[in-house]
Amino acid sequence: MRSATTSSSPTRGQSVVELPGSTAVGVLIDEPNAPCRLLGIGEAAARTGVSERALRYYQELELITPSGRTPGGMRRYSEADLARVARIRELQSLLGLNLEEIAVVLQNDDRIEKIRELYHDRRTSVSERRRLAREGLDLQEDLRAMVEAKRGALNDFLAGLDAHIERIRSLLEDGGTKNP
């Protein structure tokens, strides 16, 4: 029989259920069965620094899937969901990826997590572990190539800025007497 205990965030193997008559916003059920408070869209948006509209858009693009819903259909977000939104924001700000590129990265992240689970399953054969390791390597190399392409574009942009800065410095050193 399933039992429930408190947890700070959902983990793999847990499912979210709404308990009728419960005061909890959401409950996570798994074999140790850990309930967890899920956040409404407003609180989730505030905690992640994005708008409610952005959260809905991320869901529409299948970048995130809320961990639960109320009986009335309102979205509920777990700590893992908030971490995924933080990852989206990181990929946007740090690497300058667009949402289409982010979708690819997140799909790769999800697949790598699944590969990790399968690899560590003691029932997985040695040959299957090698195949999984190769697949994980391919995914990591694809991500590296994407980042390398972004870095190349950034380097080109910086080179253009440096050229403009040097032209302006040259004009200033000349006292503005040269014709540009």
Q: How confident is the model at residue 67 (pLDDT cuts 50, 70, 90)?
A: very high
Q: Which is nearest to 37 in space by CA: 2, 4, 86? A: 4
On the question of pLDDT at 17 being above 50, the answer is no
Q: How confident is the model at residue 180 (pLDDT cuts 50, 70, 90)?
A: low
What pLDDT was estimated at residue 1? 38
Alpha-carbon separation of residue 107 from 36, 97, 139, 152 (angstroms): 25, 14, 10, 24
Q: Which is nearest to 139 in space by CA: 119, 124, 154? A: 119
Q: Is pLDDT larger for residue 20 or for residue 93? A: 93
**For residue range 38-64, what is the model confidence (pLDDT) as tens digits?**
999 999 999 999 999 999 999 999 999
